[in-house]
Structure 1
């Protein structure tokens, strides 16, 4: 069997509607739109955790966060967790990760230390752009060392605390962290973190063109802060960008210094510019696959680890309670040799844990018993496939489920939230205490209980007792 190559293009903090292919007429994403036109676009794809580390290991292990015991940040991923590179290694795959992986906390370590392999053959780890001495800074140092001072987007506060307490001398130049507006990348355009990820991914593909390979292109964008080369910022006139739709009670909380129109439009300009930069490099990756003669039998899967509030709910970034702007992210699969009738959009519910069993089935590899997702290979063949009844999100202290029309959140203190997405797609109106929704609330409680029982995974027993 001529197994397919696998290219996972993995962005950070990209919400589902930040693609023109998903109905956003403001954003410019021609290469990702091309990917959708040549593949299958999963329009209701949900991640299992609202923040980076738990979501990433859940995705790359095909297991729910509760099974892994990793439901919040800063938990190092154990090296014996069964992940995608380990599952394909016995079947001849050469594996690599370029850019962000985020299996380890990044604020309290020296990034020059040897990173655990996690069964990857090739690692060029850079979990944050330019603020640590890592593979990204080494790449720039080798190319144009005079540009090193322009790379950092700001030192994370946790790293600042760690350096102060531990007496670590930081020799990297840092700007102010996370201004609430768009900013131009101060260095040369071809030396951004996204450029690094794309160039080194191309190099990996070229080096292994005769092999069967798996490569993850781990882009940091469009994660805050909102910094992109000026040429991508210039694609967007902030005055012409739309504002979030707020209920009156929320809109009254805004002011000239708190989520003003100017601030919101500038943030959106930066966010969209970062995505357009990634889109530019996605185009280069797709073109390089074509040039190498690898396009036909390479599965290209584009997705993200979670979304971004982008001013919705008067918030930025991500987190509780995992509304659609956080839990629903893009997922596009292209595989010319293995997809029937490309250009389709699938509106059924799919979870991030479903990707691993799908890739394994496509590659003719047994689906490991540890995996909790369900393969959607039939969908790629355009065979009968309905998707799931609900998607589950788990975090320490709360869980939620998302059905076709509703979202239910339950917290460890007993607090409940219920949203009707048909009337309230942005999830501002909690219906849990409304008497007329009591039956629906009871139904969603049962769904949550049944789903958590279904995903329970006790340790294997060695014999009867």
Structure 2
């Protein structure tokens, strides 16, 4: 079998159940569901960090956040850390990134200046939609210069602070505010969104490399469904907002919600109530943004078919972390990494390589396993210092050689998270613990760490976490100066 092309499509902030193939019968994702029906759906796939930059750095290097010493946003991935495109580029692959990469902070730099290549031959970087003078705005300027003032979703607060300090006047019209519960229709033409940029440019890249003798790696980074909820009206119209369901909150969270006071002088992003109408509105915008990504995933899949290379292309769809959607009186991501945050979609489509397509596999898999898997699929030796393990046997006819995991580890500057078949265990640096029994409490609402009936489980999880962190933590190790 010739070496396959590799196409990694990742979104930002897409929780595992924001997908029809994972049992959500309200969300409209026909193309992703088509991908799952023709491939393998790993429905218990966990990221190794609950926020963007450490997660992306981890799953594109095959190293845990603790090895990289990156636990939060704003920390640059060092350029001397080998990445997936470097491993493949050294073996003859053409490599490209289109859209969001987020190895570098985006709020405090000049986006007209070259970005570190991190091993990519081709870079079209745009980490936020329309608010910087980057490749996305250049793409819109080429097609519809008269609509440039309508594409920014708003300047990130950190970027506004940096521009004020540096005296930068970017000349860009920015939408304000950055976050409201209600979705806002995209003001420019629907085919000029950031998702359209990523989808169209990825499709064009695929078509342009269809006849190349060398295989390619293309990483397509969508910003959606990250807030704020700005999306063309056509995708909002796919849903009747009043018909969208939201999970019931337990009594203690309803009581906490009732005691909250709204500061009318606070920014809109802080004036949140978490009532059912607001949570339904948030889901409406979020689902619509997922549906827009789905539309462009469909175009990318069609481009592979039209180019005649779909059979020999490994297509992976995943995300860097999830979104709580108000389920625990929070919006966004982060600690303590509930399933809504740390569990994300993982679809793999590869007609020439997958055995029995249409399967769902429910083994515990970590995002740090992605690089070894793609190298394995490409016939490239997996470097021994990578910390993930290939899940390629789950996709092929060699499942018997897949040892699998008994837990998934997620790391944060707040602490460590261990997810097993039944439990989620968290511990912070000061020793504070939480234990959630997903068998009886799938919403992860009730901490059982002080319950006598869970004492044995708690002790076992402590022991398992010590084992996991002992094998992961290699800080301080230096090469041996071998002599004989």
Specify the TM-score bucket, using the shorter chain as the normaliser: over 0.9
User: Could you tell me which of 336, 340, 351 is aligned with 1:336?
Assistant: 351
1:185 aligns with 2:186: yes
Asked whether 1:318 is paired with 2:333, we answer: yes
Residue 168 of structure 1: CA displacement?
1.1
What is the CA distance between 1:450 and its match in structure 2?
0.2
Shift of 1:131: 0.6
The reply to whether residue 441 of structure 1 matches residue 444 of structure 2 is: no
**1:396 paired to 2:413:** yes
- Correspondences of 1:50-449 after superposition (within 5 Å): 50-176=50-176, 177-211=178-212, 212-254=215-257, 258-382=273-397, 383-384=399-400, 385=402, 387-449=404-466
SS of residue in 2 equivalent to 1:462: coil
C-alpha contact (below 8 Å) 1:409/1:416 kept by paired residues: yes
CA contact (8 A) 2:335 2:414 kept: no
* Structure-1 separation of matches of 2:292 and 2:132: 22
d(CA) in 1 for partners of 2:288, 2:85 = 32
User: How far off its partner does 1:227 sit?
Assistant: 1.2
Whole-Å separation in 2 of the counterparts to 1:418 and 1:253: 20
Shift of 1:91: 1.6
SS at match of 1:195: helix
In 2, Cα distance between the equivalents of 1:437 and 1:248? 22
Residue 464 of structure 1 deviates from its aligned partner by: 7.1
- Please report how far the alpha carbon of residue 311 of structure 1 lies from its aligned counterpart in structure 2 after TM superposition: 1.0
CA distance in 1: counterparts of 2:244 and 2:163, whole angstroms? 40
CA distance in 2, matches of 1:399, 1:371: 20
CA distance in 2, matches of 1:462, 1:77: 27
SS in structure 2 of the partner of residue 178 of structure 1 = coil
Contact 2:140 2:148 in 1 (8 A): yes
Distance 1:429 1:459 in 2: 43
Spell out, residue by residue over 1:286-332, the C-alpha distance to the aligned partner (whole angstroms, 9 max, x if none).
Answer: 01100000100000000000000011111111000001000000000
Is the 2:448–2:454 Cα contact (8 Å) retained in structure 1?
Answer: yes
Contact 1:154–1:178 at 8 Å: present in 2 too?
Answer: no
* Aligned mates of 2:382, 2:220 — CA distance in 1: 24
| Superposed CA offset, 1:132-166 (max 9, x none) | 11000000001100110111111111111111111
Contact 1:244 1:311 in 2 (8 A): no
Q: Higher mean Cα deviation, 369-378 or 23-32?
A: 369-378
Unaligned runs of 5+ in 2: 263-271
Structure 1 SS opposite 2:363: strand
Q: What's the offset of the Cα at 1:260? A: 2.2
Q: Please provide the CA RMSD for this pair.
A: 1.3
Shift of 1:71: 1.2
Distance in 2 separating the partners of 1:38 and 1:181: 35
Is the deviation greater in 197-206 or in 275-284? 197-206
3-state SS of 1:400 partner:
strand
CA distance in 1, matches of 2:478, 2:278: 50
Q: CA deviation at 1:263?
A: 1.3
What is the Cα deviation at residue 423 of structure 1? Answer: 1.0
Measure the CA separation in 2 of the matches of 1:420 and 1:397. Answer: 21
State the TM-score, normalizing by the size of structure 1: 0.98
Question: After superposition, what is the alpha-carbon deviation per residue over 1:24-59, rounded to whole angstroms, capped at 9, x for unaligned?
Answer: 010010000000000000010000000000000100
Query: For 2:112 and 2:156, how far apart are their aligned partners in 1?
Result: 17
1-structure distance, mates of 2:435, 2:338: 11
Deviation at 1:115, TM superposition (A): 0.3
Equivalence for 2:7: 7
Residue matched to 2:266: none
- Give SS of 2:364's match: strand
* Whole-angstrom distance in 1 between the partners of 2:88 and 2:394: 22
Provide the aligned length of Structure 1 versus Structure 2: 465
- Match of 1:70, SS state, is coil
**What's the TM-score, normalizing by structure 2?**
0.94
2: distance between equivalents of 1:462 and 1:312? 53
Shift of 1:103: 0.5
Question: Hey, what's the Cα distance between the residues in 1 that align with 2:325 and 2:481?
Answer: 50
Q: Which runs of 4+ in 1 moved over 2 A?
A: 252-257, 382-387, 456-465
Mapped to 1, the partners of 2:378 and 2:403 lie a distance apart of: 22
CA positional deviation for 1:259: 1.4
Look up the match of 1:460: 479
